[in-house]
Amino acid sequence: MAPDRLLTIGEFSRLTRISVRMLRHYDEHRVLAPTRVDAWTGYRYYAPDLLAVAGRVRELRDLGLGVDELARAVRLDGATLAEVVRRHRGRLVSEASAAAVRLHAADRLIARLEEQDMSTTVPVTRTTLPARTVASVRGTIPTYADERLLWERLAPGMKEAGALPAPDALALAVFHDEDYVDENPDVEVQITVAAPFQDAADVRCVEVPATDVAMATLHGSYDGMSEVMDALGTWISEHDLHICGPMVDVYRVSPASGLPPEQWVTDVCVPVADAG
Protein backbone atom coordinates (compact mmCIF):
# COMPACT_ATOMS: atom_id res chain seq x y z
CA MET A 1 0.00 0.00 0.00
CA ALA A 2 1.26 3.50 -0.82
CA PRO A 3 2.32 5.80 2.04
CA ASP A 4 -0.48 7.94 3.46
CA ARG A 5 -1.23 10.81 1.10
CA LEU A 6 -1.47 14.26 2.63
CA LEU A 7 -4.93 15.79 2.34
CA THR A 8 -5.39 19.08 0.49
CA ILE A 9 -6.85 21.95 2.51
CA GLY A 10 -10.14 21.55 0.59
CA GLU A 11 -10.39 17.86 1.45
CA PHE A 12 -9.40 18.54 5.05
CA SER A 13 -12.06 21.27 5.25
CA ARG A 14 -14.79 18.96 4.01
CA LEU A 15 -13.83 16.09 6.32
CA THR A 16 -13.43 18.23 9.45
CA ARG A 17 -16.33 20.60 8.73
CA ILE A 18 -14.04 23.58 9.29
CA SER A 19 -14.02 26.19 6.54
CA VAL A 20 -10.85 26.88 4.56
CA ARG A 21 -10.91 30.44 5.86
CA MET A 22 -10.91 29.22 9.48
CA LEU A 23 -8.19 26.63 8.79
CA ARG A 24 -5.94 29.42 7.55
CA HIS A 25 -6.89 31.52 10.59
CA TYR A 26 -6.07 28.63 12.94
CA ASP A 27 -2.71 28.16 11.24
CA GLU A 28 -1.85 31.85 11.67
CA HIS A 29 -2.78 31.71 15.38
CA ARG A 30 -0.95 28.41 16.11
CA VAL A 31 -4.12 26.49 16.85
CA LEU A 32 -3.87 23.91 14.05
CA ALA A 33 -0.83 23.96 11.78
CA PRO A 34 -0.75 22.03 8.48
CA THR A 35 1.73 19.22 8.05
CA ARG A 36 3.34 20.87 5.04
CA VAL A 37 3.10 24.20 3.22
CA ASP A 38 4.33 24.23 -0.36
CA ALA A 39 7.10 26.82 -0.53
CA TRP A 40 6.25 27.73 -4.14
CA THR A 41 2.43 27.86 -4.11
CA GLY A 42 1.69 28.36 -0.40
CA TYR A 43 -0.81 25.48 -0.54
CA ARG A 44 -1.41 23.79 2.83
CA TYR A 45 -1.47 19.97 3.23
CA TYR A 46 -2.61 17.93 6.23
CA ALA A 47 -1.74 14.43 7.50
CA PRO A 48 -4.74 12.25 8.41
CA ASP A 49 -3.72 12.13 12.09
CA LEU A 50 -4.65 15.84 12.28
CA LEU A 51 -8.31 14.95 11.65
CA ALA A 52 -8.80 14.02 15.30
CA VAL A 53 -7.02 17.19 16.44
CA ALA A 54 -9.26 19.25 14.16
CA GLY A 55 -12.31 17.50 15.59
CA ARG A 56 -11.22 18.50 19.09
CA VAL A 57 -10.63 22.09 17.95
CA ARG A 58 -14.09 22.20 16.40
CA GLU A 59 -15.76 20.84 19.56
CA LEU A 60 -14.01 23.35 21.77
CA ARG A 61 -14.73 26.17 19.32
CA ASP A 62 -18.41 25.23 19.33
CA LEU A 63 -18.39 25.55 23.12
CA GLY A 64 -17.34 29.17 22.68
CA LEU A 65 -13.60 29.09 23.39
CA GLY A 66 -11.70 31.87 21.64
CA VAL A 67 -8.64 31.45 19.46
CA ASP A 68 -6.13 32.09 22.26
CA GLU A 69 -7.93 29.59 24.53
CA LEU A 70 -8.02 27.04 21.69
CA ALA A 71 -4.28 27.34 21.13
CA ARG A 72 -3.68 26.48 24.80
CA ALA A 73 -6.48 23.94 25.37
CA VAL A 74 -5.98 21.73 22.31
CA ARG A 75 -2.58 20.60 23.65
CA LEU A 76 -3.84 19.56 27.12
CA ASP A 77 -4.28 15.96 28.22
CA GLY A 78 -7.79 14.60 28.62
CA ALA A 79 -8.16 14.95 32.39
CA THR A 80 -6.85 18.53 32.44
CA LEU A 81 -8.97 19.46 29.46
CA ALA A 82 -12.06 18.00 31.13
CA GLU A 83 -11.52 20.38 34.03
CA VAL A 84 -11.15 23.31 31.62
CA VAL A 85 -14.41 22.33 29.93
CA ARG A 86 -16.14 21.93 33.31
CA ARG A 87 -15.16 25.49 34.31
CA HIS A 88 -16.38 26.77 30.96
CA ARG A 89 -19.64 24.92 31.52
CA GLY A 90 -20.13 26.94 34.71
CA ARG A 91 -19.88 30.15 32.69
CA LEU A 92 -22.42 28.81 30.21
CA VAL A 93 -24.91 28.06 33.01
CA SER A 94 -24.76 31.72 34.05
CA GLU A 95 -25.78 32.72 30.52
CA ALA A 96 -29.04 30.73 30.92
CA SER A 97 -31.19 30.15 27.84
CA ALA A 98 -28.73 31.64 25.33
CA ALA A 99 -26.20 28.97 26.32
CA ALA A 100 -28.54 25.94 26.09
CA VAL A 101 -26.99 24.46 22.96
CA ARG A 102 -23.43 24.88 24.21
CA LEU A 103 -24.31 23.34 27.59
CA HIS A 104 -25.48 20.20 25.87
CA ALA A 105 -22.26 20.01 23.86
CA ALA A 106 -20.18 20.59 27.01
CA ASP A 107 -21.86 17.70 28.82
CA ARG A 108 -21.16 15.37 25.92
CA LEU A 109 -17.52 16.43 25.66
CA ILE A 110 -16.85 16.17 29.42
CA ALA A 111 -18.26 12.66 29.50
CA ARG A 112 -16.13 11.59 26.54
CA LEU A 113 -12.95 13.12 27.98
CA GLU A 114 -13.42 11.51 31.41
CA GLU A 115 -14.16 8.11 29.94
CA GLN A 116 -11.06 8.42 27.73
CA ASP A 117 -12.97 6.53 25.07
CA MET A 118 -11.87 8.43 21.99
CA SER A 119 -10.67 5.47 19.92
CA THR A 120 -13.90 3.86 18.72
CA THR A 121 -13.26 2.30 15.32
CA VAL A 122 -15.78 3.16 12.61
CA PRO A 123 -15.72 0.65 9.71
CA VAL A 124 -15.30 2.15 6.23
CA THR A 125 -16.03 0.35 2.97
CA ARG A 126 -15.69 1.24 -0.70
CA THR A 127 -18.98 0.65 -2.46
CA THR A 128 -21.21 2.00 -5.22
CA LEU A 129 -24.32 4.06 -4.70
CA PRO A 130 -26.57 2.72 -7.49
CA ALA A 131 -28.04 4.97 -10.15
CA ARG A 132 -31.33 6.44 -9.02
CA THR A 133 -34.27 8.58 -10.18
CA VAL A 134 -35.13 11.13 -7.52
CA ALA A 135 -37.45 13.96 -6.65
CA SER A 136 -35.10 16.78 -5.68
CA VAL A 137 -35.20 20.16 -3.99
CA ARG A 138 -31.96 22.14 -3.84
CA GLY A 139 -31.37 25.43 -2.14
CA THR A 140 -29.23 27.60 0.12
CA ILE A 141 -30.24 27.37 3.76
CA PRO A 142 -29.05 29.40 6.77
CA THR A 143 -27.14 26.51 8.40
CA TYR A 144 -26.78 22.75 8.00
CA ALA A 145 -29.18 22.34 10.93
CA ASP A 146 -31.91 23.95 8.81
CA GLU A 147 -32.05 21.05 6.32
CA ARG A 148 -35.69 20.42 7.36
CA LEU A 149 -36.66 23.59 5.42
CA LEU A 150 -35.88 21.74 2.18
CA TRP A 151 -37.72 18.58 3.24
CA GLU A 152 -40.78 20.71 4.03
CA ARG A 153 -40.74 21.92 0.41
CA LEU A 154 -40.12 18.49 -1.10
CA ALA A 155 -43.19 16.63 0.20
CA PRO A 156 -45.88 19.01 -1.10
CA GLY A 157 -43.95 19.53 -4.33
CA MET A 158 -43.92 15.79 -5.00
CA LYS A 159 -47.67 15.68 -4.47
CA GLU A 160 -48.19 18.53 -6.94
CA ALA A 161 -45.96 16.78 -9.49
CA GLY A 162 -47.67 13.43 -9.02
CA ALA A 163 -44.35 11.85 -8.09
CA LEU A 164 -44.63 8.58 -6.16
CA PRO A 165 -41.86 7.32 -3.85
CA ALA A 166 -40.22 4.08 -4.91
CA PRO A 167 -41.35 0.99 -2.96
CA ASP A 168 -38.01 0.95 -1.13
CA ALA A 169 -37.59 4.74 -1.26
CA LEU A 170 -34.37 6.26 0.03
CA ALA A 171 -34.10 9.72 1.57
CA LEU A 172 -30.77 11.43 0.83
CA ALA A 173 -29.08 14.78 1.31
CA VAL A 174 -26.29 16.04 -0.99
CA PHE A 175 -23.91 18.77 0.20
CA HIS A 176 -22.75 20.67 -2.87
CA ASP A 177 -20.28 23.22 -1.49
CA GLU A 178 -16.70 22.40 -2.45
CA ASP A 179 -15.55 23.10 1.12
CA TYR A 180 -17.32 23.13 4.47
CA VAL A 181 -19.02 26.52 5.00
CA ASP A 182 -20.04 28.15 8.27
CA GLU A 183 -23.31 29.54 6.90
CA ASN A 184 -25.58 29.46 3.84
CA PRO A 185 -24.68 25.92 2.66
CA ASP A 186 -25.87 24.66 -0.74
CA VAL A 187 -27.84 21.50 0.07
CA GLU A 188 -30.04 19.19 -1.99
CA VAL A 189 -32.55 16.73 -0.54
CA GLN A 190 -33.76 13.74 -2.54
CA ILE A 191 -36.31 10.92 -2.38
CA THR A 192 -36.05 8.04 -4.84
CA VAL A 193 -39.20 7.74 -6.96
CA ALA A 194 -40.98 4.91 -8.74
CA ALA A 195 -40.85 6.57 -12.18
CA PRO A 196 -39.72 9.80 -13.87
CA PHE A 197 -42.08 12.78 -13.65
CA GLN A 198 -42.43 16.35 -14.92
CA ASP A 199 -40.85 19.06 -12.77
CA ALA A 200 -43.32 21.04 -10.68
CA ALA A 201 -42.67 24.21 -8.67
CA ASP A 202 -39.17 23.81 -7.22
CA VAL A 203 -39.24 20.00 -7.26
CA ARG A 204 -37.15 18.50 -10.06
CA CYS A 205 -36.88 15.00 -11.44
CA VAL A 206 -33.18 14.12 -11.51
CA GLU A 207 -31.40 11.07 -12.87
CA VAL A 208 -28.37 10.45 -10.66
CA PRO A 209 -25.64 8.14 -12.05
CA ALA A 210 -24.02 5.39 -10.04
CA THR A 211 -21.28 6.76 -7.78
CA ASP A 212 -18.16 5.09 -6.34
CA VAL A 213 -17.99 6.08 -2.66
CA ALA A 214 -16.22 5.48 0.62
CA MET A 215 -19.00 4.82 3.12
CA ALA A 216 -19.23 4.74 6.90
CA THR A 217 -22.43 4.27 8.88
CA LEU A 218 -23.37 6.52 11.77
CA HIS A 219 -25.52 4.78 14.37
CA GLY A 220 -27.26 7.26 16.63
CA SER A 221 -27.52 11.03 16.74
CA TYR A 222 -25.44 13.37 14.61
CA ASP A 223 -23.23 14.13 17.63
CA GLY A 224 -21.11 11.20 16.41
CA MET A 225 -20.48 12.70 12.97
CA SER A 226 -16.91 13.82 13.81
CA GLU A 227 -15.77 10.25 14.50
CA VAL A 228 -17.33 9.09 11.22
CA MET A 229 -15.63 11.85 9.23
CA ASP A 230 -12.28 11.11 10.95
CA ALA A 231 -12.58 7.45 9.94
CA LEU A 232 -13.47 8.34 6.35
CA GLY A 233 -10.62 10.81 5.99
CA THR A 234 -8.05 8.41 7.42
CA TRP A 235 -9.28 5.54 5.24
CA ILE A 236 -9.26 7.68 2.08
CA SER A 237 -5.68 8.77 2.77
CA GLU A 238 -4.49 5.24 3.61
CA HIS A 239 -5.91 3.93 0.32
CA ASP A 240 -4.41 6.81 -1.73
CA LEU A 241 -7.79 8.00 -3.01
CA HIS A 242 -9.12 11.45 -3.86
CA ILE A 243 -12.48 13.00 -3.01
CA CYS A 244 -14.20 13.70 -6.32
CA GLY A 245 -17.72 14.93 -5.58
CA PRO A 246 -20.18 16.18 -2.99
CA MET A 247 -20.79 14.21 0.18
CA VAL A 248 -24.09 12.30 0.39
CA ASP A 249 -25.98 11.26 3.51
CA VAL A 250 -28.39 8.34 3.10
CA TYR A 251 -30.96 8.41 5.89
CA ARG A 252 -31.76 4.77 6.65
CA VAL A 253 -33.56 5.76 9.87
CA SER A 254 -34.01 9.52 10.05
CA PRO A 255 -35.46 12.01 12.57
CA ALA A 256 -38.65 11.94 10.46
CA SER A 257 -39.19 8.34 11.61
CA GLY A 258 -40.20 9.60 15.03
CA LEU A 259 -37.72 7.24 16.67
CA PRO A 260 -35.33 8.52 19.38
CA PRO A 261 -31.88 9.71 18.22
CA GLU A 262 -30.10 6.59 19.49
CA GLN A 263 -31.98 4.59 16.84
CA TRP A 264 -31.13 6.82 13.87
CA VAL A 265 -28.97 5.26 11.12
CA THR A 266 -27.15 7.31 8.47
CA ASP A 267 -24.82 6.11 5.70
CA VAL A 268 -22.23 8.87 5.19
CA CYS A 269 -20.87 8.60 1.62
CA VAL A 270 -17.88 10.43 0.12
CA PRO A 271 -17.32 10.04 -3.65
CA VAL A 272 -13.78 8.81 -4.32
CA ALA A 273 -11.47 8.07 -7.23
CA ASP A 274 -8.09 6.41 -7.49
CA ALA A 275 -5.06 8.69 -7.43
CA GLY A 276 -3.36 9.49 -10.69
**What are the tens digits of pLDDT across the range 26-45?**
999 999 999 999 999 999 99
Query: Domain map of the chain by residue range?
Result: 7-115, 125-274
Has residue 64 got a pLDDT over 90?
A: no
Q: Which sign, positive or negative, has the C-alpha torsion 139, 145, 146, 148? A: positive
| 162 Rama class: left (phi>0) / alpha (psi -120 to 50) / beta | left
- Report pLDDT for 1: 39
The three-class DSSP label of residue 55 is helix
Give 117's pLDDT tier (boundaries 50, 70, 90): low
Q: What is the DSSP letter of 107?
A: H
Mean pLDDT of 63-72: 87
Q: Encode pLDDT of 192-210 as tens digits.
A: 999 999 998 889 999 999 9
Give 88's pLDDT tier (boundaries 50, 70, 90): confident
- Burial (CB < 10 A; 0-12, 13-18, 19+), residue 203, is buried
CA distance 143 to 225: 16
Has residue 140 got a pLDDT over 50?
A: yes
Cα 154 to chain center, whole Å?
Answer: 22
Q: Which sign, positive or negative, has the C-alpha torsion 155, 161, 166, 171? A: negative
Q: Encode pLDDT of 95-110 as tens digits.
A: 655 556 667 777 767 7
CA distance 75 to 56: 10
Q: What percent of the chain has pLDDT over 70?
A: 92
Q: What are phi and psi of 187, to 5 degrees?
A: -125, 145
Half-sphere exposure of 205 (CA within 13 A, CB side): 16
CA distance 69 to 79: 17
- Report pLDDT for 106: 76
- Report pLDDT for 31: 94
CATH code for the domain defined by 125-274: 3.20.80.10
Has residue 2 got a pLDDT over 80?
A: no
Mean pLDDT of 51-60: 92
User: CA gyration radius for the chain?
Assistant: 20
Query: 10 Å Cβ neighbour count for 100?
Result: 10
CA distance 80 to 229: 26
pTM: 0.73
**Architecture in CATH for domain 7-115:** Orthogonal Bundle (1.10)
- Report pLDDT for 101: 66
Q: Encode pLDDT of 216-244 as tens digits.
A: 999 988 888 888 999 999 999 999 999 99
User: For residues 229 and 51, is the Cβ–Cβ distance under 8 A?
Assistant: yes
Q: Encode pLDDT of 174-193 as tens digits.
A: 999 999 999 999 999 999 99
The kind and range of the H/E element at 52 are helix 50-63
User: Which residues neighbour 176 within 8 Å (Cβ) at sequence distance 6 or greater?
Assistant: 138, 186, 187, 188, 246
